[in-house]
Amino acid sequence: MESKYKEQAKEILDIINQSKKICIITGAGISTASGIPDFRGENGIYKEKRDNVFDLEKFIENPEKFYSFGKNFFPILYSAEPNSSHYLLVKLEKTGKIDMIITQNIDNLHKKAGSKKLMEIHGSFTEFKCVKCDYKTEINKVFDKIVKGEVPYCKRCNGLLKPNIIFFGEKPDITKVNKAIKSASESDLCIIMGSSLTVQPVARIPEYALDNGAKLIIINKGNTYLDDYSFKKYDMETEKLAKELIRISEQKKFFVF
């Protein structure tokens, strides 16, 4: 492990030890190490899919096109495994310091790793919902169709099934958003991991933490609009830093996970 990760990890653990109520915000950058492409990065989905495959209106108009894409994309999500970033948060959650993990990710990796205090603002790919009657079903029941590129339909009303995630053109659940805002507003430390803070409403949530006087730590490859307001900014890979955070903390020199 490069020395810079060791130094930064110790610094972060010191800050965590001084904090009592932590709000975590995660984005696609924490899952790239698990083999999941992000949406806007150099190799992101929108780099290749300029027709906005996750646009609600276009999905309704042409679900066949979406599921033609989905037959390759959903198996990647389905088979992906959590990495050190996800497991770090599980361990940190057990200390009682985390109030909430707010994620933009739909990949289910936080749950797969074992996180409990989780708010999936954009939903999860593991659930599908009928656009007609709102009937919900789990991906396991439609996966065979998806991998064939076929369009799944509701067993109750034969309506079109869509993954229960927020498409462009949809608004997130306001109850989820308000709970996330409340967590940030009451935190004394807000840690952003793997998010460029460009997608609303999550992008604005750290501002509520700042308004409360909380320290802001940003761990992300690339710039965010809040870099100048952060207590510490680490322009580095979250997975490598998380691995070092776990390693050092388990030496019992800081807090015990």
Q: What is the pLDDT of residue 254?
A: 54
DSSP class of residue 199 equals S
Tokens of 145: 């169709």
Q: Which residues are catalytic?
A: 122
Lowest mean pLDDT among 19-28, 30-39, 89-98, 222-231: 30-39
The number of helices, as runs of H, and strands, as runs of E, in the chain is 10, 9
> Distance between CA atoms of 227 and 223, rounded to whole angstroms?
7
The continuous run of DSSP H or E covering 192 comes out as strand 189-193
- Give 249: exposed, middle or buried? Use CB within 10 Å, 0-12, 13-18, 19+: buried
Q: Which of 257, 224, 238 is nearest to 8 (CA)?
A: 238
pTM greater than the 0.95 cutoff:
no
Residue 244, pLDDT above cutoff 60: yes
Who has greater pLDDT, 52 or 130? 130
- The mean pLDDT of the chain is 91
Q: Please, what are the domains in the chain?
A: 1-34+83-122+173-257 (3.40.50.1220), 37-79+123-165 (3.30.1600.10)
Residue 10, pLDDT above cutoff 50: yes
Q: What is the pLDDT of residue 250?
A: 83
> Distance between CA atoms of 26 and 205, rounded to whole angstroms?
12
